[in-house]
Chains A and B, each alone.
Chain A
């Protein structure tokens, strides 16, 4: 099994550009989430989904959009990139149950210049 796959691994954007970070999982997990990790800040939740067609905001949602049209995919869209969105982005998935933890992707390192 591939687990959680994130693409691209690295990306450089100019301020104002838009892009989509891809996340796919092949474990039939209902729960998927996006985090950003900044130095000294830990991981902060951007958006999450508890199933296809259902999404909700996390701690730092501004400037990001998500949709969940299938169980497998949970793309994160940057509408108009800003330097403050320079970060490492992680996607994670889980069954959302009391005996099953989260599996993380390898991350996307994004630089906005």
Chain B
């Protein structure tokens, strides 16, 4: 059974800092890994998708890396802004293309 751990569980930083959110998973036999953002009381918004053959993906100030063999992914957020405040969820997809979720990292960026 896939287990997904996200560290830290919570993060509070001043605006402008560069951030690193970590995700580890126990079963490295994955097809994709997706990072999501969830605002309070809202649904999940996809941020980045990394295929198992890829090492990283970038979108604007976001960069996600994947080290499949060690079961790790990292989400980098550059020059954080208050609008980045949300919960970030990591979800590797295993053999059935069904994602398993971590508990997320709750991020607060204060002005």
Chain A residues engaging chain B, CB cutoff 8 angstroms: 31, 33, 35, 40-45, 48, 50, 58, 90, 92, 94, 96-107
Q: Is the CB of A90 within 8 A of B43?
A: yes
Q: Is the CB of A98 within 8 A of B44?
A: no
Query: Which residues in window 81-111 of B have CB below 8 A to A?
Result: 89, 91, 93, 96-104
Q: Is the CB of A107 within 8 A of B43?
A: yes
Residues from chain A with Cβ under 8 Å of B45 in the complex: 104
Question: How distant is the Cα of A48 from the Cα of B49 in the complex, in angstroms?
Answer: 21
Q: Does more than half of chain A's interface fall in helix, strand or loop, or is it mixed? A: strand
Residues from chain B with Cβ under 8 Å of A103 in the complex: 46
B51 contacts chain A at the CB level, 8 A cutoff: yes
Q: Is the CB of A102 within 8 A of B43?
A: no
Give which listed residue, B52, B93, B101, contacts A43 with CB less than 8 A: B101
B31 contacts chain A at the CB level, 8 A cutoff: yes
Question: How distant is the Cα of A44 from the Cα of B91 in the complex, in angstroms?
Answer: 11
B42 contacts chain A at the CB level, 8 A cutoff: yes
B: number of interface residues (CB 8 Å): 25
Q: Is the CB of A42 within 8 A of B89?
A: yes
Question: How distant is the Cα of A42 from the Cα of B3 in the complex, in angstroms?
Answer: 12
Q: Nearest chain B CB to A92's CB is how many angstroms away?
A: 8
Which 5 pairs between the two chains have the least Cβ-Cβ distance?
Answer: A42-B103, A43-B101, A101-B49, A104-B44, A106-B43
Residues from chain B with Cβ under 8 Å of A96 in the complex: 97
Question: How distant is the Cα of A90 from the Cα of B99 in the complex, in angstroms?
Answer: 13
Query: Which residues in window 15-53 of B have CB below 8 A to A?
Result: 31-32, 34, 36, 42-46, 49, 51-52
Q: Is the CB of A98 within 8 A of B51?
A: yes
Q: Nearest chain B CB to A55's CB is how many angstroms away?
A: 12
Q: Is the CB of B51 within 8 A of A90?
A: no
